Amino acid sequence: MQVVEKQYDVVVVGSGGAGTSAAVAARDQGCSVLLVSKDPINCSDSKISEGIVTVRGSETDKDTETELSSNIRIQGDDIGRAEHARAFAEDSQSAYEWMRQQGLKPHFDESGKAKTLGMAMGGHTQSRSIDHANGGLDYAHALRQALTEKQNGHLDYMEDAWFLDLYVQESEQRISVQGGLIYHAADGVLVSVKAQAVVLACGGIGTLYFPHTDTMRGNTGDAYAIAARAGAKLVDMEQIQFIPFAAVNPPSHQGLIVGEPVSAGALGVIRDATGKVILSEIMARTRAECAAAIAQAVEEGRGTDHGGCYLDLTDNIQGASAEPFRYVMKTKAGSLLKVVRASMGSSAARFEVPWEVKPSAHYCMGGIATDENGQVFDANSQPIHGLLAAGQALGGLHGSNRLGSTSLAEAIIFGRRAGYQAAVSAPLNSGSDTNEKSVIEYYLSMLGRDGESYGIDITRALQKACWKFIGPARNEKDMSELKDSISQREQQLDDCHVSSSKYFNQSFIDVVEARNLLQCATFIVQSALSRKRSLGAHFRTDSRPDNLGKRPFSVQCFWESEGQLKIVHEDREASPVGARIKLRMQQGGKILMLKLLRHLPLGLRDKILIKKYAAAAGGLPKENVHEA
Amino acid sequence: MKLKLMVIREDKVELESFEYQQQVIGEKPVVLDVLLQYQENQNKDYAYRYGCRNGLCGVCTVEVNGKPKLACKCRVGEGDTITPLSTLPVLSDLVVSRQAVSKQLVEKLPVPQGTGQDNNADNTDYQRLNRCIECYACLHECPMHEKNDLTNRQADYLYGNPYSLLRIQRNLVDANATEEVKEKSLKLARDLGIEACRDCKGCRCGVGINLKKDVIRPLLFRLPNGEPDKSIEKEY
């Protein structure tokens, strides 16, 4: 395969919200930018998302930066970095304004103000989430518009392009990145690109759990594996967010999201296979709490044949509030109901029968260790010159639990910061050689290799094992077993068959991605083993959760030498006790209110619910309230 | 269930038979189920695209019995034949090169600047067009697109397609777009060869946008001496 040389000021990897905004930010500083995307351009998790964006103050002026950043910190059990939460709170409005300029249009009220969802999404104490008519598609079209514009700087993009590895120069205890190697499958060449800075915005690891995931196929953990190979440190990799309610059947729908805690209505409950209620007042719970309840029941043998439980929303359609409930669901959760109808039938979509559900991998809250501008850190917490991360690739913002609708805001907030930072970082070249030659040689030597097994075999076997052992329920024994099997599979990978074809060489791509997946499995399993107690999304069946008074810490990892992963713990500052108690009490209050509601006389209960649903839907059509 | 799948490599083009094994009783598999099983059981380095499995990302479009379909949504039946999109150059097996379409408008389509005009406007028409997932099913039998050099994987496309016209039309219904932006957008539609639409029966969208009514016809109306052809008028 031919190796083509190119030179840009900045290279950005990934073309979702984070990558696109980073590339545009660097271009606007006058840089020449190359945006690299392995999937077709902008076909990312941003595009397939629900398209709901956190914007501070979008509902009320009382919503302060402190309140938002404190929500993020405390709901994430304080294991994230305070600087990241603060940056998020500072920039959420300007990030959304930037998306507006690219053509994103929310729903407007009569005064021309953007409408919010009208309710606080999971983990927020304020209603501050803005939804869009076509969900993530609106968001993706805006990203595309940003790439279409003619501007001062120069922006090229390349799709069907796998970023393989970074070029690294090590000198005097300092690491610097000077570009990297790309497989451009559409042109059938390797592209060796030199740059003053590289932004990794290709986060996500959902495919490690396929088919138990609702994310894009391309989520093979490339950002984490590539950064770690260049000497970066990763944080909180044990914290994988599992959405609790995904379809179990048929195979083509497995893992797709069918509901959120907030869409369970006031009276939704989770039942085990025997019909016993295992969690109620779901509306006031986090994704992590719901997923853990299901995982626990399945672990104890009370799950369904498909390894799930039942989400029972039938109580919501018992009285006069039934039609308003259906209306809110249709207008606010229409895309979820489509999946329900297709996978479980129309009586399920009318809430007449319980839904069989199980958790599904959704988001990687851990990621590459950075400062609040996306500057990546090495094992010694020193900056790696010329390496930045943004979006899901970046770690340290969410801690152990991610608030609803924050990811689409986070993508732009940290994408723009990283893009700007990449543009202003001066080239640093000590004159010594980078590892360019050995990187190119490594990938070229793979081509045309004969072997019995293929990358896809390893990936499929790994996915099964990871779902079982580092999925929503984990324990010491299983994880230790997985750790051993990963190293066997890594050896197997070196003997895999790789064809020599130039254009879209699937066997090559599969081996490249399998390697990244295997390394990510190592990060996750070793981080998870090292966090002995359940915390947030990390749910262990063999220990109790930490108590509230314990000092929070972050689990971090990096390659000490080839094949040797080092795990360290870093203490974090806890949020003030008063703020933590206040937030827990607010949540407790919500649960109590929902409990009380369940026991009110039906007529009174309906009255309250209809009012609530009307507020959530921004008014109900007349035919839906005649019974009230 | 027996199906046929197209295998295209640098050295061969073949239609391979495959017997799909049902995974659950009463299963009605979609194309993607077949592709996943075919790769795992019979052709380990079979090249195909998929993304969200939910009809949103737009990357998995293939042809089933010669018609463009989303692999994640289209149910298959006995004897169906699965081939790559015939409207774009093949890279390998079911994977086609999309870059020339996606790049066609870059630095050519003017972008509406600023916000504020849309706050008090009816944005329904704009949002209707944003349902597009860029699956490129609309390229099928497009007389404009057919004029491009589709055998060359590296060629740029001079002529447009319904997707590029959709994005042009979106500028025309964007409350934030100035008259200048609209004029330039229209000129681009002409440059891309929209005249070919006058004699065309019309195009079909992969996710159900009414392209004739919401894109082609409004654009043709705005052209100089822009009365659409009578045959097109009849379509509505």
Same domain, B169 and B117: yes
Contacts of B168 (CB under 8 A, 6+ apart): B105, B109, B185, B186, B188, B189, B192, B219
Contacts of A17 (CB under 8 A, 6+ apart): A44, A46, A139, A143, A391, A408, A411, A412, A415
**A138 neighbourhood in chain B, CB within 8 Å:** 127, 130
SS3 sequence, A536-553?
CCECECCCCCCCCCCCCE
State the pLDDT at residue B234.
43
| pLDDT under 70: residue ranges of chain B | 225-236
Q: Is A454 on the interface with B (CB under 8 A)?
A: yes
Alpha-carbon distance of A46 to A97, in angstroms, equals: 17
Which residue from B95, B130, B154 is facing A138, i.e. has the nearest CB?
B130
Q: Is A356 on the interface with B (CB under 8 A)?
A: no
Alpha-carbon distance of A423 to A421, in angstroms, equals: 5
Give the number of domains in chain B: 2
Fold for the domain defined by A3-238+364-424: FAD/NAD(P)-binding domain (3.50.50)
Q: Is A461 on the interface with B (CB under 8 A)?
A: no
CA torsion sign, B189 to B195 to B198 to B202?
A: negative
Closest Cα in chain A to B52:
A216
Residue A186: pLDDT over 60: yes
State the pLDDT at residue A262.
86
Least Cα distance to A170 among A441, A428, A439 occurs for A428
Alpha-carbon distance of A339 to A141, in angstroms, equals: 23
* Interface size, chain A vs chain B, as Cβ–Cβ contacts under 8 Å: 157
Same domain, B161 and B231: yes
Contacts of A495 (CB under 8 A, 6+ apart): A451, A452, A453
User: Of B57, B76, B96, which residue is a domain's last?
Assistant: B96
Question: What is the CATH classification number for the domain harbouring B107?
Answer: 1.10.1060
Mean pLDDT of chain A: 94
- Ranking A305-319, A341-355, B88-102, B211-225 by mean pLDDT, the lowest is B211-225
Q: For residue A509, give the 3-state DSSP assignment.
A: helix
Residue A511: pLDDT over 50: yes
Residue with tokens 């042009």: B168
Alpha-carbon distance of B106 to A149, in angstroms, equals: 7
Residue A627: pLDDT over 50: no
| Interchain contact, A186 vs B99, CB within 8 Å | yes
- Tens digit of pLDDT for each residue in B108-159? 999 998 778 999 999 999 999 999 999 999 999 999 999 999 988 889 999 9
- Ranking A270-279, A424-433, A575-584 by mean pLDDT, the lowest is A424-433
pLDDT bucket at A620, cuts 50 / 70 / 90: confident
**Mutation choice for A interface testing from B44, B109, B170 by most A CBs within 10 A:** B44
Q: Is A556 on the interface with B (CB under 8 A)?
A: no
Residue A569: pLDDT over 70: yes
State the pLDDT at residue A547.
65
Alpha-carbon distance of A625 to A602, in angstroms, equals: 15
Least Cα distance to A374 among A21, A7, A42, A16 occurs for A21
Same domain, B49 and B83: yes
Least Cα distance to A455 among B46, B6, B11 occurs for B46
Q: For residue A98, give the 3-state DSSP assignment.
A: helix
**A457 neighbourhood in chain B, CB within 8 Å:** 44
Pairing of strands B81-83, B90-92: unpaired
**A248 neighbourhood in chain B, CB within 8 Å:** none
State the pLDDT at residue B232.
47
The pair of three-digit structure tokens given for residue B183, joined into one six-digit string: 């004029």
- Ranking A27-36, A293-302, A428-437 by mean pLDDT, the lowest is A428-437
State the pLDDT at residue A565.
97
Q: Do residues A268 and A312 lie in contact, with contact meaning Cβ atoms separated by under 8 Å? A: yes
Alpha-carbon distance of A384 to A261, in angstroms, equals: 40
Q: What are phi and psi for residue A159, nearest 5 degrees?
A: -105, 170
Same domain, B198 and B89: no
Same domain, B63 and B148: no
Residue A625: pLDDT over 70: no
ipTM of the complex: 0.95
DSSP code for B89: -
Q: What are phi and psi for residue B82, nearest 5 degrees?
A: -110, 120
Instruction: Count Cβ atoms below 10 Å from residue B22 Cβ, excluding itself.
Output: 13
Least Cα distance to A406 among A160, A141, A199, A122 occurs for A122
A117-156: string of b/e by CB count within 10 Å (b at 16+)? bbbbbbbbbbbbbbbbbbbbbbbbbbbbbbbbbeeebebe
- Tens digit of pLDDT for each residue in A441-484? 999 999 999 999 999 999 999 999 999 999 999 999 999 999 98
Q: Do residues B22 and B42 lie in contact, with contact meaning Cβ atoms separated by under 8 Å? A: no
DSSP A357-414: EEEEEEEE--EE-B-TT-EEEBTTS-EEEEEEE-GGGB-SSSTT-PPTTHHHHHHHHH
The total number of residues written for chain B in this structure: 236
**B99 neighbourhood in chain A, CB within 8 Å:** 158-160, 186
**Structural element, H or E, at residue A467:** helix A455-469
User: Of B65, B96, B127, which residue is a domain's last?
Assistant: B96
- Tens digit of pLDDT for each residue in A194-228? 999 999 999 999 999 999 999 999 999 999 999 99
Least Cα distance to A124 among A279, A237, A284, A14 occurs for A284
| Interchain contact, B99 vs A141, CB within 8 Å | no
Q: Is A424 on the interface with B (CB under 8 A)?
A: no
Exposed/middle/buried for residue A269 (C-beta within 10 Å: 0-12, 13-18, 19+): buried
Residue A362: pLDDT over 80: yes
Alpha-carbon distance of A283 to B52, in angstroms, equals: 26
Same domain, B89 and B198: no
Q: Is A249 on the interface with B (CB under 8 A)?
A: yes
| Interchain contact, A510 vs B45, CB within 8 Å | yes
Question: Half-sphere exposure of residue A113, counting CA atoms within 13 Å on the CB side?
Answer: 9
Which residue segment(s) compose the domain that B41 sits in? 2-96
**A246 neighbourhood in chain B, CB within 8 Å:** none
| Interchain contact, B32 vs A252, CB within 8 Å | yes
- Ranking A276-280, A429-433, B170-174 by mean pLDDT, the lowest is A429-433
Q: Do residues A533 and A551 lie in contact, with contact meaning Cβ atoms separated by under 8 Å? A: no
Residue with tokens 């514009």: A149
Which residue from A113, A217, A456 is facing B39, i.e. has the nearest CB?
A456
Which residue from A112, A252, A339 is facing B29, i.e. has the nearest CB?
A252
Q: List A567's β-bridge partners, or say none.
A: A557
Same domain, B79 and B107: no
Closest Cα in chain A to B136:
A40
Residues 51-80 of B with CB under 8 A from A: 51-54, 56-59, 72
**Mutation choice for B interface testing from A99, A105, A143 by most B CBs within 10 A:** A105
Closest Cα in chain A to B120:
A112
Q: Do residues A98 and A92 lie in contact, with contact meaning Cβ atoms separated by under 8 Å? A: no
Q: Is A233 on the interface with B (CB under 8 A)?
A: no
Q: Do residues A221 and A195 lie in contact, with contact meaning Cβ atoms separated by under 8 Å? A: no
Closest Cα in chain B to A147:
B106
| Interchain contact, B44 vs A507, CB within 8 Å | yes
State the pLDDT at residue A548.
62
Average pLDDT over residues A360-373: 98
User: Domain limits of chain A?
Assistant: 3-238+364-424, 240-362+583-624
Same domain, B163 and B231: yes
Pairing of strands A154-159, A32-37: parallel
Q: Is A142 on the interface with B (CB under 8 A)?
A: no
Closest Cα in chain A to B22:
A251
Q: Name the percent of chain A lying above pLDDT 70.
A: 98
Residue A628: pLDDT over 60: no
Residues 469-508 of A with CB under 8 A from B: 497, 499, 501-507
| Interchain contact, B111 vs A149, CB within 8 Å | yes
Residue with tokens 């329920």: A473
Note the pTM of the prediction, 2 decimals.
Answer: 0.96
Same domain, B183 and B135: yes
Closest Cα in chain B to A507:
B45
Alpha-carbon distance of B181 to B59, in angstroms, equals: 30
Closest Cα in chain A to B131:
A134
User: Of B42, B75, B96, which residue is a domain's last?
Assistant: B96
State the pLDDT at residue A624.
61
| Interchain contact, B50 vs A133, CB within 8 Å | no
DSSP code for A354: P
Alpha-carbon distance of B7 to B13, in angstroms, equals: 6
Alpha-carbon distance of A202 to A59, in angstroms, equals: 32
Task: List the helix and strand counts (H, then E) for chain B.
Answer: 8, 7
Q: Is A464 on the interface with B (CB under 8 A)?
A: no
Q: Do residues A447 and A512 lie in contact, with contact meaning Cβ atoms separated by under 8 Å? A: no
Q: Do residues A257 and A336 lie in contact, with contact meaning Cβ atoms separated by under 8 Å? A: yes
Alpha-carbon distance of A547 to B122, in angstroms, equals: 53
Pairing of strands A197-200, A383-389: parallel
Q: How far is the CA of A562 from the CAs of A122, A174, A492, A587, in angstroms?
A: 41, 19, 17, 46
**Mutation choice for A interface testing from B10, B57, B75 by most A CBs within 10 A:** B57
Residue A623: pLDDT over 90: no
**B56 neighbourhood in chain A, CB within 8 Å:** 47-48, 135-137
Q: Name the percent of chain A lying above pLDDT 90.
A: 87
| Interchain contact, A149 vs B153, CB within 8 Å | no
Alpha-carbon distance of A232 to A377, in angstroms, equals: 6
Q: Is A256 on the interface with B (CB under 8 A)?
A: yes
Alpha-carbon distance of A486 to A466, in angstroms, equals: 10
Closest Cα in chain A to B152:
A187
Whether the ω angle into residue A211 lies within 30 degrees of 0, i.e. cis, is yes
DSSP B137-169: GGGTT-TTGGGS--S-TTPPP-S--HHHHHHHH
Alpha-carbon distance of B233 to B227, in angstroms, equals: 9
Residues 164-183 of B with CB under 8 A from A: 174, 176
**B76 neighbourhood in chain A, CB within 8 Å:** none
State the pLDDT at residue B10.
82
Q: Is B196 on the interface with A (CB under 8 A)?
A: no
Average pLDDT over residues A338-354: 95
Residue A572: pLDDT over 80: yes
Same domain, B110 and B222: yes
Q: For residue A107, give the 3-state DSSP assignment.
A: coil
Least Cα distance to A103 among B107, B114, B184 occurs for B114
Residue A626: pLDDT over 60: no
pLDDT bucket at A615, cuts 50 / 70 / 90: confident
